């Protein structure tokens, strides 16, 4: 492909003359010249090319401005007589500067890789990677979605984009055709002006571990140079992101129930302490939902314990699909679950509980092609600090609210009351 050189001249014959004498180069002017790395600046032009790395500045003996880095000053008539040598030297300089810049970027990437490897929280790694990509593109907002094996879908590991929401879809907010276009491109990046999105898939070997989603304005300009820089950066850090992700998921599995993949009781004890301390420190609130399945024993007695286990797996899946990515779903054992809802008040918790309850009754549980059952649950809610200020009291109030529903109507949502504060917990 011919090297493209920008020309800044008030004389239209200059670009024509250069084209005739340098057949191996392509010459452009106007807005196209602003994108060139090598440019020719004629004596009648006071332009300051923005993206050029090397400039052949024609001199008629009247130049009085100081020389800039990257300038080749040459007598005008001598250049126009034989422009090829000066242009080749300018191209060599531009290539050298570009190579040095690339090496500098690679060193920066290696430094960041070292720092990323020292991080143990995937959210911190995701934020660092996403913000670096946004800086390279020159845009303010974006989100990094990582695959969550327990939910069997992608959820936001970091986002500063209000338009990015967890809708429960497999890849929320990612158009399938744009993702496919990004996967098919050499740089693993696609700019879609129909949806005003930039999509960047993150692949480790043949696995799609995540996607970066960046909204852009119709007036935003994302040039090829920025895309190439992002592609080089992501190629450098994606493997590290994958390693941190897998390591964290392995550690995460040790805190999960083997049957349902919900968190286990050990996780609940430590995480609730952390959430309580966080709420105290920042003056925030949170809620917990206790739920107990209604009449699961009948399933075990009628269809066997294997069907009961499959029911618990389906219950956990429906709960996880009905809550946010930041909410924690815990299996206490047996048929009792708890949901921890950060930054959620009583009314919001009631809405979540009803969403989970409807997820149970909206469709039957198909355990086998010939086994179809219906399952409901009783729910109890307590909110910190409205109902309790200690972990033990909060658990007792939520459990008692749940027990009150279970002993009366079942398949309903109860909220902690004054009486619950003094009644012993059932767990």
**pLDDT at residue 258 above 70?**
yes
Q: Of 100, 118, 96, 97, which is closest to residue 108 (Cα–Cα)? A: 100
CA distance 245 to 147: 9
Cα angle for residues 380, 363, 301 (degrees, 5° grid) = 70
**pLDDT at residue 120 above 60?**
no
What is this structure's pTM?
0.49
Lookup: tokens for 16 = 């024509």
In whole angstroms, how far apart are CA 338 and each of 141, 169, 294, 304, 308? Answer: 34, 23, 15, 25, 19
**pLDDT at residue 277 above 60?**
yes
* pLDDT band of 330, cuts 50, 70, 90: very high
**pLDDT at residue 1 above 70?**
no
**pLDDT at residue 150 above 70?**
no
| SS3 (DSSP) at 151 | coil
Tell me the average pLDDT of the chain.
87
Could you tell me if 214 and 134 are in contact, meaning their C-beta atoms sit under 8 angstroms apart? yes
| SS3 (DSSP) at 176 | helix
Residue 179: the pLDDT is 94
* pLDDT band of 94, cuts 50, 70, 90: confident
The residue ranges of every structural domain in the chain are 3-95, 119-253, 265-421
Q: Does domain 3-95 have CATH number 3.40.640.10?
A: no
Percent of the chain with pLDDT over 90: 48
Domain covering 119-253 in this structure, CATH number: 3.30.450.40
> Using one digit for the tens of pLDDT, what is the confidence trace for 291-301?
999 988 888 88
- Mean pLDDT, range 269-295, rounded to an integer: 92
Residue 125: the pLDDT is 81
* pLDDT band of 353, cuts 50, 70, 90: very high
Domain covering 265-421 in this structure, CATH number: 3.30.70.270
Return the axis-axis angle of helices 346-361 and 305-322, rounded to nearest 10°: 140
β-bridge mates for residue 382, sequence order? 288
CA distance 184 to 421: 59
Residue 378: the pLDDT is 97
- Please tell me the least confidently modeled range out of 220-229, 321-330, 378-387: 220-229
Could you tell me if 340 and 328 are in contact, meaning their C-beta atoms sit under 8 angstroms apart? yes
Could you tell me if 143 and 159 are in contact, meaning their C-beta atoms sit under 8 angstroms apart? yes
* pLDDT band of 248, cuts 50, 70, 90: low
β-bridge mates for residue 211, sequence order? 145, 201
> Using one digit for the tens of pLDDT, what is the confidence trace for 407-426?
999 999 999 986 655 555 55
**pLDDT at residue 136 above 60?**
yes
CA distance 384 to 51: 56
Q: Which residue has the tokens 């006071």?
A: 46
Residue 186: the pLDDT is 81
Q: Which one has a higher pLDDT value, 247 or 156?
A: 156
Residue 65: the pLDDT is 74
**pLDDT at residue 283 above 60?**
yes
Q: Which contacts (CB < 8 Å, 24+ apart) does range 149-154 have? A: 149/249, 150/256, 150/261, 150/262, 150/320, 151/320, 151/321, 151/325, 154/210, 154/211
Residue 335: the pLDDT is 92
* pLDDT band of 61, cuts 50, 70, 90: confident
């Amino acid at each position: 492909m011919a090297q493209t050189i920008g020309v800044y001249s008030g004389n239209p014959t200059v670009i024509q003359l250069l084209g005739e004498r340098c057949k191996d180069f392509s010459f452009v002017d106007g807005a196209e010249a602003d994108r060139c790395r090598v440019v020719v600046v004629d004596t009648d032009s006071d332009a300051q090319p923005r993206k050029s790395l090397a400039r052949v500045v024609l001199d008629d003996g009247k130049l009085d401005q100081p020389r800039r880095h990257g300038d080749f000053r040459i007598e005008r008539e001598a250049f126009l007589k034989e422009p090829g040598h000066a242009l080749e030297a300018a191209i060599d300089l531009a290539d050298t500067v570009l190579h040095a810049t690339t090496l500098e970027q690679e060193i920066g990437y290696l430094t960041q890789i070292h720092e990323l490897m020292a991080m143990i929280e995937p959210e911190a790694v995701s934020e660092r990677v996403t913000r670096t990509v946004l800086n390279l593109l020159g845009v303010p907002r974006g989100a990094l979605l990582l695959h969550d094996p327990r939910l069997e879908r992608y959820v936001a590991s970091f986002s500063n984009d209000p338009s990015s929401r967890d809708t429960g879809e497999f890849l929320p907010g990612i158009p399938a055709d744009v993702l496919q276009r990004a996967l098919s491109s050499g740089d693993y990046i696609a700019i879609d002006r129909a949806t005003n999105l930039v999509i960047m898939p993150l692949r480790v070997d043949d696995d799609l571990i995540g996607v970066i989603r960046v909204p852009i304005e119709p007036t935003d300009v994302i040039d090829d140079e920025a895309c190439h820089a992002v592609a080089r950066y992501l190629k450098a850090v994606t493997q590290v992101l994958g390693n941190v992700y897998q390591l964290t998921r392995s550690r995460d599995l040790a805190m999960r129930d083997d049957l349902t993949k919900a968190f286990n009781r050990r996780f609940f004890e430590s995480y609730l302490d952390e959430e309580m301390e966080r709420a105290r420190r920042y003056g925030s609130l949170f809620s917990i939902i206790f739920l107990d399945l209604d009449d699961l024993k009948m399933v075990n007695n009628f269809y066997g314990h294997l069907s009961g286990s499959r029911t618990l797996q389906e219950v956990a899946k429906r709960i996880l699909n009905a809550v946010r990515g930041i909410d924690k779903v815990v299996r206490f054992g047996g048929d009792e679950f708890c949901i921890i809802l950060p930054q959620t008040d009583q009314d919001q918790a009631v809405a979540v509980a009803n969403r989970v309850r409807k997820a149970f009754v909206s469709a039957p549980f198909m355990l086998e092609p010939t086994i179809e059952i219906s399952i409901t649950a009783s729910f109890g809610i307590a909110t910190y600090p409205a109902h309790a200020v200690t972990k033990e009291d909060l658990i007792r109030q939520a459990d008692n609210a749940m027990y009150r529903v279970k002993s009366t109507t079942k398949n309903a949502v109860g909220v902690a009351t004054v009486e619950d504060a003094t009644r012993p917990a059932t767990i």
